[in-house]
Structure 1
C-alpha cells in the first residue's frame, strides 16, 4: 500500500462526525446510505484501508497491514488510522485490525443494494406536482443561494435586496457570519471571509452551521439529522421523493433545506419533494454550485477574474453579476456603471466604511487577488505595492489611538516614596506609563484600590 507524505486535510463533515458520540455514530452506521457517503468523504488512503478490510471475515494482523505501507506513506497511514479510530470505524489496536461490525454491515449493504433501502430515499409513487427538470432545479437553487449571499453584502448599505426566510436570517446570525446592530443584520469580518471562499466551501460551511444549530435542540435526533443529509446526497436529481417515511426531525429539515436551495417543493405540496444539485453533490467532490452555474446562462461571470486595479486606485470590474457588484460596493466608491462594466475608485472613505463593518485590509486585498483579471495576474505582485500599503495604512488609522481607563499618580513627597509605590504597582502589573523625572505614573483602573490602600498603609507608619 503506497502513499505520499503530503498531508490531506479531512473534509469538514468528517471533523464534525468525529465530535459525535460513539453511540450516535454506530446508530448512524446502520444506514447504508450514510456508510457509502462517509466513504466518499474519506481521503484515498482511508478509503483504501476500509476497502481492503471490508470483505474479510476475520481480523487482519496489524503488522501485516503495516508491511503494505511504504516509508513515504507512513505519516499518511498513521493519520488515516487516527481518523478512522475517531470515527469508531476502525478500533485502534496494536494486534489486529477489523472494521466495526455496524459500519462493515452498513457499507456492505450499501454496495450490494441490500439492507435498509429506504435510507436512499423513497421515490414518490403519486406525483405531487409537476416536477422541475434538472436545469430548472439548478436555476431555482442558485436563486435561493444568491438571495442569501446578496442579502449579506447589501444589509448594511441601505441598498434594497430580497430578504431570505426567517430561518436563514437566524442561521446567518447564529453562525457568526452577520452581527445584529440595533435590529439590523450587518455583514462582519467572518461573513466577508465567507464570501472569499469557493461556492462549494460556502455551502458546506453554511450546512455545518446548520448542523451545529440543530444539535443544540433537545427535540432533534442527531442520527436523523445526519442520516437525512446522507440520504439527500444519494438521491437522483430530478426525481420526486416521498416524505411519508421521514421522521418528525427530517420533516422539519425538509422545510429548512428548501430555504437554502437544497430541496424544492411548491407551497401546496406536503408529501413530495425534489432534491437539487446542491443536495445530491453534498458528499461528492463535485463543485455543486459551480456545476449548477455552468449548466445555464444567466449573465454570470465565467471562471476567470473580472477586476482590474490601477496604481491610481481606479477599479474596472467587468461584470453584470448583482452579487459581485454588491460585494465591490462594500469597499469601492462607484463612479460609472455600464451594462457589463463598473468603474470605481478605492478611496479613504470607501475603505474605512468597510473597516467599520468589520472587514479587514487583508480581506479586501485577498478578494482583489482572488478575482483579479487574467491580465492583472501577469503582474508580480498582482496588486500594486503602493495600493497594498495605502489600504493597510487606512486600516492603521483606526488604531492610532487606544484609550484605557486608569489613574495618574503624582505629587509624591520624595523620590523614595515614588519609587516604592511605583515598584509595588509594577509588581501588580498595572503600570501603563511612568516618568521618574517628574515622579508620576499612570496605572490601570483595576489596581486603584490596592495602590490606594498601599499608600495609606505607608502614610500611617
Structure 2
C-alpha cells in the first residue's frame, strides 16, 4: 500500500487548521456559517439545532443525556469538532457545572443563513432574462468551465504542448501546490513572468503528487486546487484569507445561469475572482464589464465537499489491459490519451480508440518523473472498462507484477558510505578490529588473506577509539 503524496482535506479539516483569528472573521458571514454547518457530522448538526434558539448555556450533563451511551465515541468526536472549529465554547453554570453555548457570531449568522438569507454582496443579478437565452448561456457556461479546467489538466500532463492555455499565475499555483516542478534549477523568470499576457517558458514536469491528483474525480480535484489557491493568496500574496473564503462560499450558493455584479468588490476580492475565472469556476464576458457568471464547477461545492474520493458516476472506465502488455483505451479525450502516454508507448490511433503498449522503457520514463508502480497499477484498475470491471483480477497479475518488477529493478544496488581499513601490522590486529566491527554491526566487507575491511562510516569513531585502546604498545 503506497503512501499518499498529497493529502485531501475536507472543509471541516481545512477550517480547523486555520488560525482562530481567521475562523472568527469568516463566522461574520451567513453563507460561510451555513456552508460549514452543512459539512458537519449529523450529530454535530443535531447539537447545533438544539442550541440555536436557546439564549443561555446548556449543562454538559444535559447534552450527554441526548446521546445513547453506546455512541460515546461519536459524542466525543462531535465535542472535539465543535470545539476545534470554535462553534461553541465551554463555560460554567452558576452552580459551577460545565456547560456549552454557541458562539454569538456563528449563532446569529447561521440563523440568518437558514431563515433570513437575504441578498449577498454578489446577489444583484439582472432581473429579466429570456428563457431561451438562459438555456444557451447555461450550455455556454458548461462548455467554458470544462474547457478551462481540462486545459489545466492537459498542462499538468503535457506542459510543453499546453503552456499557452494556462495563465502564468495558475502555473505558479501549480508549483506552489507541488503538482509541477522545474527541471532547471538555474532558471531565472523574466521580469514580466507574472504578466498573463506573456507566456512562461520555464521547463517543468509533473510530480508523482500530480499523478495522484489526476486520479481523483473532478470535484475533489477542484476542491484541492482551491485550497492551494487560498493558501497561495494568503502565504505568497498576503491577501485576506477570510475575504477569499467568504467569496468562495457566496459563489457556491449562487444561481446557475444568472450573472452577478463585482462592481463593489475590494481589490483582494477582485483578484481572487480573476483567478477563479482562469480555472473555469466563473465566466466573464470581458474584464471591463463588472459582471460574472458562476459555473457549475463552483456551485456544486455547495452540495457537499466532504464527499471523499469516489469516482464520478458519469466517468466510466475506458481501459482494457491484456496479458501481452497491450492497452486498448476506448476514448477520444486528448487528456486521457496524454495521461496514458505518460507510462506507455502509443502505437495506433483510431476514432474513439487508442492502442498502446507497456514497455520497460516507457514505464521507466514514468518512474523518472516520480510516478510509482502502484500508482500506475491503480490507474489501470480504476479506469478499467465496464466489460472487464467484474473480472477478477481486473488487471492481469502478469502486468501488475511486471510493472512492480521494473520499478524494483531500479533499486537493486544500495549505496552506503563506508570507511576502508588496511595496512594492519599483524593478523591479530586485523582480526581484533574485524571482530569488533562485526559485534557492533558495522562490518560491511572484509578480506582475511589481504587484511582488508570496510565498515560503516557512522561507526568509524567507535572503531578508531577501540583500535587506539587496544593497540599494542
Under TM normalisation by the shorter chain, which class is it? 0.7 to 0.9
Query: Equivalents in 1 of 2:428, 2:119: separation in Å?
Result: 85
Any conservation in 2 of the 1:336–1:344 contact (CA below 8 Å)? yes
CA distance 1:426–1:106, change in 2 (3 Å): farther
The partner residue of 1:102 within 102, 105, 108 is 105
Q: Does 1:266 align with 2:285?
A: yes
Superposed, 1:115-194 pairs within 5 Å as: 117=118, 119=120, 121-124=122-125, 133-155=137-159, 159=161, 162-182=164-184, 183-194=202-213
Q: Deviations over 1:390-418 (max 9, x none)?
A: 11000011111133343322332235433
Cα deviation, residue 85, structure 1? 0.5
CA distance 1:171–1:160, change in 2 (3 Å): closer
Any conservation in 2 of the 1:241–1:274 contact (CA below 8 Å)? yes
Q: Tell me what 1:17 maps to.
A: 15
CA distance 1:398–1:104, change in 2 (3 Å): same
Q: Deviations over 1:266-301 (max 9, x none)?
A: 33435222211111222322899x9xx99xxxxxxx
Aligned residue pairs, count: 436
Q: Tell me what 1:79 maps to.
A: 77
Query: Equivalents in 2 of 1:353, 1:165: separation in Å?
Result: 27
Query: Equivalents in 2 of 1:141, 1:221: separation in Å?
Result: 26
Q: Deviations over 1:344-380 (max 9, x none)?
A: 1111111111111111110001001110012222211
Unaligned segments of structure 2, at least 5 residues:
1-6, 92-96, 185-201
Any conservation in 1 of the 2:154–2:162 contact (CA below 8 Å)? no
The partner residue of 1:435 within 417, 430, 446 is 446
Query: Equivalents in 1 of 2:144, 2:211: separation in Å?
Result: 24
Any conservation in 2 of the 1:34–1:230 contact (CA below 8 Å)? yes
SS of the residue corresponding to residue 347 of structure 2 reads: strand
Q: Does 1:201 align with 2:220?
A: yes
Q: Deviations over 1:176-197 (max 9, x none)?
A: 1111112411111100001111
SS of the residue corresponding to residue 179 of structure 1 reads: strand
Any conservation in 2 of the 1:61–1:97 contact (CA below 8 Å)? yes
Query: Equivalents in 2 of 1:396, 1:163: separation in Å?
Result: 37
Superposed, 1:21-40 pairs within 5 Å as: 21-40=19-38
The worse-fitting range, judged by mean Cα deviation, of 186-195 and 53-62 is 53-62
CA distance 1:365–1:72, change in 2 (3 Å): farther
Q: Tell me what 2:193 maps to.
A: none
The partner residue of 1:399 within 407, 411, 414 is 411
Cα deviation, residue 440, structure 1? 3.5
Any conservation in 1 of the 2:434–2:443 contact (CA below 8 Å)? no
Any conservation in 2 of the 1:37–1:283 contact (CA below 8 Å)? yes
Any conservation in 1 of the 2:421–2:453 contact (CA below 8 Å)? yes
CA distance 1:426–1:18, change in 2 (3 Å): farther
Q: Please give the root-mean-square deviation of Cα atoms over the aligned residues, in Å.
A: 3.1
Any conservation in 2 of the 1:10–1:43 contact (CA below 8 Å)? no
CA distance 1:26–1:426, change in 2 (3 Å): farther
CA distance 1:160–1:253, change in 2 (3 Å): closer
Any conservation in 2 of the 1:123–1:239 contact (CA below 8 Å)? no
Q: Tell me what 2:197 maps to.
A: none
Q: Does 1:361 align with 2:373?
A: yes
The partner residue of 1:66 within 42, 64, 67 is 64
Q: Tell me what 1:247 maps to.
A: 266
SS of the residue corresponding to residue 415 of structure 2 reads: coil
Any conservation in 2 of the 1:13–1:208 contact (CA below 8 Å)? no
Any conservation in 2 of the 1:58–1:98 contact (CA below 8 Å)? yes
SS of the residue corresponding to residue 89 of structure 2 reads: coil
CA distance 1:339–1:434, change in 2 (3 Å): same
Query: Equivalents in 2 of 1:372, 1:259: separation in Å?
Result: 32
TM score, norm. by length of structure 1: 0.85
Unaligned segments of structure 1, at least 5 residues:
1-8, 295-301
Q: Tell me what 1:55 maps to.
A: 53
Query: Equivalents in 1 of 2:9, 2:461: separation in Å?
Result: 52
Query: Equivalents in 1 of 2:21, 2:417: separation in Å?
Result: 52
TM score, norm. by length of structure 2: 0.83
SS of the residue corresponding to residue 344 of structure 1 reads: strand
Any conservation in 1 of the 2:39–2:305 contact (CA below 8 Å)? no
